[in-house]
Amino acid sequence: MSTKIDLARIQEELVQEFRWGNEARVRELVAQLGAGPRQIRTVLETMLGDSESLVRQAAAFGLGELGGPASASRLEQQLAVEEARGDHGSGAVVEDIVRALGRIKGTRARASLVRKLERLASSKPEIPDVNELARALWRQRHPDLIPILRRSLETRTLPEPNDLHGLLVLLEKSPEALDTWARDASIPIDNKTQVLVVLEEDVPASLLLLLPAFVATADSVSEQAQSQDGDTAYYCERLFSLLLGDRKRFIPALPEHARARLRVVAQRLVALPSMGSALPAAVVLGLVGRPEDIPLLEKRRPADDPVFAKVFDDAVAALRKLH
Protein backbone atom coordinates (compact mmCIF):
# COMPACT_ATOMS: atom_id res chain seq x y z
CA MET A 1 0.00 0.00 0.00
CA SER A 2 2.75 2.43 0.95
CA THR A 3 4.56 1.69 -2.32
CA LYS A 4 1.46 2.69 -4.32
CA ILE A 5 1.11 5.85 -2.28
CA ASP A 6 4.77 6.73 -2.83
CA LEU A 7 4.45 6.11 -6.57
CA ALA A 8 1.34 8.29 -6.77
CA ARG A 9 3.15 11.06 -4.90
CA ILE A 10 6.13 10.88 -7.26
CA GLN A 11 3.85 10.94 -10.31
CA GLU A 12 1.94 13.93 -8.98
CA GLU A 13 5.14 15.84 -8.24
CA LEU A 14 6.56 14.89 -11.64
CA VAL A 15 3.53 16.35 -13.43
CA GLN A 16 3.64 19.55 -11.39
CA GLU A 17 7.37 20.05 -11.93
CA PHE A 18 6.82 19.47 -15.63
CA ARG A 19 4.08 22.12 -15.59
CA TRP A 20 6.58 24.64 -14.20
CA GLY A 21 9.31 23.69 -16.63
CA ASN A 22 11.71 22.32 -14.02
CA GLU A 23 13.25 19.71 -16.30
CA ALA A 24 16.16 18.86 -14.01
CA ARG A 25 13.77 17.91 -11.22
CA VAL A 26 11.52 15.99 -13.63
CA ARG A 27 14.51 13.88 -14.68
CA GLU A 28 15.22 13.06 -11.03
CA LEU A 29 11.60 12.04 -10.48
CA VAL A 30 11.49 9.89 -13.63
CA ALA A 31 14.38 7.86 -12.21
CA GLN A 32 12.33 7.27 -9.02
CA LEU A 33 9.36 5.71 -10.83
CA GLY A 34 10.79 2.20 -10.75
CA ALA A 35 13.72 -0.04 -9.97
CA GLY A 36 14.94 -0.03 -13.56
CA PRO A 37 14.15 1.10 -17.11
CA ARG A 38 11.49 -1.57 -17.64
CA GLN A 39 9.50 -0.61 -14.55
CA ILE A 40 9.90 3.09 -15.28
CA ARG A 41 8.70 2.63 -18.86
CA THR A 42 5.65 0.70 -17.65
CA VAL A 43 4.65 3.55 -15.34
CA LEU A 44 5.20 6.18 -18.04
CA GLU A 45 3.24 4.19 -20.59
CA THR A 46 0.35 3.98 -18.14
CA MET A 47 0.51 7.75 -17.70
CA LEU A 48 0.22 8.14 -21.49
CA GLY A 49 -3.29 6.74 -21.21
CA ASP A 50 -4.42 9.38 -18.70
CA SER A 51 -7.34 11.62 -19.63
CA GLU A 52 -5.42 14.72 -18.46
CA SER A 53 -3.27 16.09 -21.28
CA LEU A 54 -0.65 17.50 -18.89
CA VAL A 55 -0.05 14.00 -17.48
CA ARG A 56 0.42 12.67 -21.01
CA GLN A 57 2.84 15.51 -21.78
CA ALA A 58 4.92 14.70 -18.71
CA ALA A 59 4.90 11.01 -19.65
CA ALA A 60 6.13 11.82 -23.16
CA PHE A 61 8.97 13.85 -21.70
CA GLY A 62 9.87 10.98 -19.40
CA LEU A 63 9.96 8.45 -22.24
CA GLY A 64 12.18 10.82 -24.20
CA GLU A 65 14.60 10.90 -21.28
CA LEU A 66 14.42 7.13 -20.86
CA GLY A 67 15.23 6.67 -24.54
CA GLY A 68 15.63 3.47 -26.50
CA PRO A 69 13.72 1.85 -29.37
CA ALA A 70 10.86 0.73 -27.11
CA SER A 71 10.23 4.31 -25.95
CA ALA A 72 10.38 5.55 -29.54
CA SER A 73 7.83 2.96 -30.68
CA ARG A 74 5.42 3.75 -27.84
CA LEU A 75 5.71 7.47 -28.49
CA GLU A 76 4.95 7.00 -32.17
CA GLN A 77 1.85 4.99 -31.27
CA GLN A 78 0.74 7.76 -28.93
CA LEU A 79 1.46 10.35 -31.61
CA ALA A 80 -1.14 8.69 -33.84
CA VAL A 81 -3.63 8.66 -30.96
CA GLU A 82 -3.13 12.37 -30.21
CA GLU A 83 -3.31 13.37 -33.87
CA ALA A 84 -6.62 11.52 -34.16
CA ARG A 85 -7.97 13.33 -31.10
CA GLY A 86 -7.27 16.69 -32.67
CA ASP A 87 -8.27 18.83 -29.67
CA HIS A 88 -6.28 21.59 -27.96
CA GLY A 89 -4.89 19.34 -25.24
CA SER A 90 -3.76 16.71 -27.70
CA GLY A 91 -1.97 19.39 -29.73
CA ALA A 92 0.24 20.14 -26.74
CA VAL A 93 0.91 16.43 -26.27
CA VAL A 94 1.91 16.11 -29.93
CA GLU A 95 4.47 18.89 -29.44
CA ASP A 96 6.01 17.12 -26.47
CA ILE A 97 6.08 13.77 -28.26
CA VAL A 98 7.92 15.35 -31.19
CA ARG A 99 10.43 16.92 -28.78
CA ALA A 100 10.86 13.59 -26.99
CA LEU A 101 11.48 11.72 -30.23
CA GLY A 102 14.11 14.31 -31.09
CA ARG A 103 16.00 13.46 -27.91
CA ILE A 104 15.99 9.69 -28.50
CA LYS A 105 19.04 8.59 -30.46
CA GLY A 106 18.70 5.90 -33.11
CA THR A 107 17.08 5.10 -36.41
CA ARG A 108 13.65 4.26 -34.97
CA ALA A 109 13.06 7.70 -33.48
CA ARG A 110 14.43 9.38 -36.61
CA ALA A 111 12.14 7.27 -38.80
CA SER A 112 9.15 8.28 -36.64
CA LEU A 113 9.97 11.96 -37.16
CA VAL A 114 10.41 11.44 -40.90
CA ARG A 115 6.97 9.85 -41.09
CA LYS A 116 5.60 12.83 -39.18
CA LEU A 117 7.22 15.14 -41.74
CA GLU A 118 5.66 13.19 -44.59
CA ARG A 119 2.23 13.52 -42.99
CA LEU A 120 2.71 17.26 -42.56
CA ALA A 121 3.83 17.64 -46.18
CA SER A 122 0.63 15.95 -47.35
CA SER A 123 -1.63 18.14 -45.24
CA LYS A 124 -2.01 21.82 -44.36
CA PRO A 125 -0.08 22.19 -41.10
CA GLU A 126 0.47 25.29 -39.03
CA ILE A 127 3.93 26.88 -39.19
CA PRO A 128 4.67 26.25 -35.46
CA ASP A 129 4.12 22.52 -36.03
CA VAL A 130 6.59 22.50 -38.91
CA ASN A 131 9.16 24.52 -36.98
CA GLU A 132 8.90 22.26 -33.92
CA LEU A 133 9.58 19.28 -36.14
CA ALA A 134 12.59 21.04 -37.71
CA ARG A 135 14.17 21.42 -34.29
CA ALA A 136 13.54 17.77 -33.40
CA LEU A 137 15.04 16.63 -36.71
CA TRP A 138 18.12 18.77 -36.02
CA ARG A 139 18.71 16.75 -32.87
CA GLN A 140 18.50 13.67 -35.10
CA ARG A 141 20.82 15.23 -37.71
CA HIS A 142 21.95 12.71 -40.28
CA PRO A 143 22.91 12.96 -43.96
CA ASP A 144 20.01 10.65 -44.85
CA LEU A 145 17.64 13.48 -43.94
CA ILE A 146 18.88 15.75 -46.74
CA PRO A 147 16.99 14.16 -49.68
CA ILE A 148 13.89 13.75 -47.50
CA LEU A 149 13.91 17.44 -46.60
CA ARG A 150 14.44 18.45 -50.21
CA ARG A 151 11.46 16.39 -51.35
CA SER A 152 9.24 17.79 -48.61
CA LEU A 153 10.17 21.39 -49.42
CA GLU A 154 9.77 20.81 -53.16
CA THR A 155 6.14 19.77 -52.67
CA ARG A 156 5.41 23.41 -51.74
CA THR A 157 2.54 22.25 -49.54
CA LEU A 158 4.21 23.35 -46.31
CA PRO A 159 3.55 26.88 -45.04
CA GLU A 160 6.27 29.45 -45.64
CA PRO A 161 8.55 30.66 -44.27
CA ASN A 162 9.48 27.64 -42.15
CA ASP A 163 12.59 26.48 -40.32
CA LEU A 164 13.07 23.34 -42.42
CA HIS A 165 15.03 25.61 -44.79
CA GLY A 166 17.42 26.46 -41.97
CA LEU A 167 17.72 22.79 -41.06
CA LEU A 168 18.60 21.92 -44.66
CA VAL A 169 21.34 24.56 -44.73
CA LEU A 170 22.85 23.16 -41.53
CA LEU A 171 22.79 19.60 -42.85
CA GLU A 172 24.13 20.38 -46.32
CA LYS A 173 27.06 22.63 -45.46
CA SER A 174 30.35 21.94 -43.71
CA PRO A 175 31.28 24.18 -40.75
CA GLU A 176 33.66 26.11 -43.02
CA ALA A 177 31.00 26.60 -45.68
CA LEU A 178 28.50 27.66 -43.01
CA ASP A 179 30.90 30.32 -41.75
CA THR A 180 31.22 31.76 -45.27
CA TRP A 181 27.46 31.54 -45.78
CA ALA A 182 26.69 33.31 -42.49
CA ARG A 183 29.00 36.22 -43.41
CA ASP A 184 27.69 36.54 -46.98
CA ALA A 185 25.80 39.84 -47.18
CA SER A 186 23.90 38.63 -50.26
CA ILE A 187 22.10 35.93 -48.25
CA PRO A 188 18.70 37.23 -47.04
CA ILE A 189 18.62 37.92 -43.33
CA ASP A 190 15.46 35.82 -42.95
CA ASN A 191 17.38 32.74 -44.14
CA LYS A 192 20.05 33.30 -41.51
CA THR A 193 17.39 33.76 -38.85
CA GLN A 194 15.94 30.35 -39.72
CA VAL A 195 19.35 28.78 -39.12
CA LEU A 196 19.70 30.54 -35.76
CA VAL A 197 16.29 29.30 -34.64
CA VAL A 198 17.23 25.69 -35.42
CA LEU A 199 20.62 26.10 -33.72
CA GLU A 200 18.87 27.25 -30.54
CA GLU A 201 17.83 23.62 -30.13
CA ASP A 202 21.41 22.39 -30.03
CA VAL A 203 24.85 23.78 -30.90
CA PRO A 204 27.32 20.92 -31.35
CA ALA A 205 30.96 21.55 -30.48
CA SER A 206 31.86 21.47 -34.17
CA LEU A 207 29.76 24.60 -34.77
CA LEU A 208 30.90 26.71 -31.81
CA LEU A 209 33.40 28.46 -34.08
CA LEU A 210 30.46 29.53 -36.24
CA LEU A 211 29.06 31.92 -33.60
CA PRO A 212 31.39 34.86 -34.45
CA ALA A 213 30.11 34.79 -38.04
CA PHE A 214 26.54 35.31 -36.86
CA VAL A 215 27.71 38.05 -34.48
CA ALA A 216 29.48 39.76 -37.38
CA THR A 217 26.26 39.71 -39.39
CA ALA A 218 24.35 41.17 -36.45
CA ASP A 219 26.89 43.98 -36.19
CA SER A 220 26.56 44.77 -39.89
CA VAL A 221 22.74 44.88 -39.87
CA SER A 222 21.93 46.18 -36.38
CA GLU A 223 22.00 49.81 -37.52
CA GLN A 224 19.04 48.93 -39.72
CA ALA A 225 17.27 47.58 -36.65
CA GLN A 226 17.59 51.05 -35.13
CA SER A 227 15.52 52.36 -38.03
CA GLN A 228 12.71 49.96 -37.02
CA ASP A 229 13.59 47.24 -39.53
CA GLY A 230 11.67 44.33 -38.05
CA ASP A 231 13.56 41.58 -39.87
CA THR A 232 16.99 42.71 -38.74
CA ALA A 233 15.81 43.35 -35.18
CA TYR A 234 14.33 39.86 -35.08
CA TYR A 235 17.60 38.37 -36.33
CA CYS A 236 19.46 40.08 -33.49
CA GLU A 237 16.87 38.94 -30.97
CA ARG A 238 17.27 35.32 -32.11
CA LEU A 239 21.04 35.65 -31.83
CA PHE A 240 20.64 36.93 -28.27
CA SER A 241 18.25 34.07 -27.49
CA LEU A 242 20.76 31.54 -28.78
CA LEU A 243 23.68 32.98 -26.84
CA LEU A 244 21.73 33.43 -23.61
CA GLY A 245 20.28 29.93 -23.82
CA ASP A 246 23.61 28.55 -22.62
CA ARG A 247 25.50 31.72 -21.70
CA LYS A 248 28.13 29.97 -19.59
CA ARG A 249 29.16 27.97 -22.64
CA PHE A 250 28.67 30.40 -25.52
CA ILE A 251 29.81 33.80 -24.21
CA PRO A 252 33.26 32.59 -23.06
CA ALA A 253 33.65 30.78 -26.40
CA LEU A 254 33.49 34.07 -28.30
CA PRO A 255 36.88 35.59 -29.13
CA GLU A 256 37.50 39.12 -27.92
CA HIS A 257 36.78 40.77 -31.26
CA ALA A 258 33.41 38.99 -31.47
CA ARG A 259 32.55 40.03 -27.92
CA ALA A 260 33.34 43.63 -28.85
CA ARG A 261 31.03 43.45 -31.87
CA LEU A 262 28.31 41.80 -29.78
CA ARG A 263 28.57 44.68 -27.32
CA VAL A 264 27.92 47.15 -30.15
CA VAL A 265 24.86 45.16 -31.26
CA ALA A 266 23.51 45.13 -27.70
CA GLN A 267 24.09 48.89 -27.34
CA ARG A 268 22.03 49.52 -30.46
CA LEU A 269 19.17 47.21 -29.57
CA VAL A 270 18.87 48.22 -25.94
CA ALA A 271 17.84 51.65 -27.20
CA LEU A 272 14.95 50.31 -29.29
CA PRO A 273 11.38 51.02 -28.11
CA SER A 274 10.43 47.34 -28.08
CA MET A 275 11.22 45.50 -24.86
CA GLY A 276 11.44 42.36 -26.97
CA SER A 277 14.71 43.76 -28.26
CA ALA A 278 15.79 45.86 -25.27
CA LEU A 279 15.48 43.22 -22.54
CA PRO A 280 17.79 40.56 -24.02
CA ALA A 281 20.13 43.34 -25.18
CA ALA A 282 20.39 44.54 -21.57
CA VAL A 283 21.25 41.03 -20.40
CA VAL A 284 23.91 40.72 -23.10
CA LEU A 285 25.38 44.09 -22.14
CA GLY A 286 25.64 42.85 -18.58
CA LEU A 287 27.78 39.98 -19.89
CA VAL A 288 29.98 41.66 -22.52
CA GLY A 289 29.63 45.36 -21.75
CA ARG A 290 31.87 47.83 -19.95
CA PRO A 291 31.17 50.23 -17.07
CA GLU A 292 30.77 52.97 -19.70
CA ASP A 293 27.50 51.29 -20.72
CA ILE A 294 25.88 51.94 -17.34
CA PRO A 295 24.39 55.36 -18.27
CA LEU A 296 22.77 53.82 -21.37
CA LEU A 297 21.19 51.06 -19.29
CA GLU A 298 20.00 53.46 -16.60
CA LYS A 299 18.47 55.76 -19.21
CA ARG A 300 16.60 52.88 -20.86
CA ARG A 301 15.45 51.29 -17.57
CA PRO A 302 11.61 51.11 -17.52
CA ALA A 303 10.58 52.73 -14.25
CA ASP A 304 6.94 51.64 -14.58
CA ASP A 305 7.65 47.89 -14.70
CA PRO A 306 9.56 46.43 -11.74
CA VAL A 307 10.10 43.06 -13.44
CA PHE A 308 11.65 44.59 -16.55
CA ALA A 309 13.52 47.14 -14.43
CA LYS A 310 15.25 44.35 -12.52
CA VAL A 311 16.77 43.04 -15.76
CA PHE A 312 18.44 46.41 -16.28
CA ASP A 313 19.40 46.69 -12.61
CA ASP A 314 21.11 43.29 -12.74
CA ALA A 315 23.06 44.29 -15.84
CA VAL A 316 24.16 47.54 -14.20
CA ALA A 317 25.23 45.67 -11.05
CA ALA A 318 27.31 43.25 -13.15
CA LEU A 319 29.07 46.11 -14.91
CA ARG A 320 29.76 47.99 -11.69
CA LYS A 321 31.73 44.97 -10.47
CA LEU A 322 34.15 45.58 -13.34
CA HIS A 323 35.38 48.86 -11.82
pLDDT in tens, 105-129: 999 999 999 999 999 988 888 999 9
Task: Tell me the pLDDT band of 141, cut-offs 50, 70 and 90.
Answer: very high
Task: Tell me the pLDDT band of 225, cut-offs 50, 70 and 90.
Answer: low
Residue 58 Cα distances to 12, 31, 118, 321, angstroms: 10, 13, 26, 41
Per residue in 171-180, pLDDT tens?
A: 999 999 999 9
Give mean pLDDT, residues 24-45: 94
Give mean pLDDT, residues 127-132: 94
pLDDT score, position 227: 64
Q: How many CB atoms lie within 10 A of CB 130?
A: 20
Is the pTM for the entire model greater than 0.75? yes
Give mean pLDDT, residues 135-154: 95
- Cα 125 to chain centroid distance, Å, stands at 20
Torsion of CA 162, 167, 168, 169, to 10 degrees: 110
Residues 6+ apart with CB under 8 A from 88: none
Does residue 243 register a pLDDT over 50? yes
Give mean pLDDT, residues 181-201: 96
Give mean pLDDT, residues 288-293: 96
pLDDT score, position 2: 44
Task: Tell me the pLDDT band of 1, cut-offs 50, 70 and 90.
Answer: very low
Closest residue by Cα to residue 3 from 41, 48, 39: 39
Backbone angles phi, psi at 303, to 5 degrees: -70, -20
Mean pLDDT over each residue of the chain, to the nearest integer: 93
Give mean pLDDT, residues 261-290: 95
Give mean pLDDT, residues 77-82: 95
Does residue 93 register a pLDDT over 80? yes
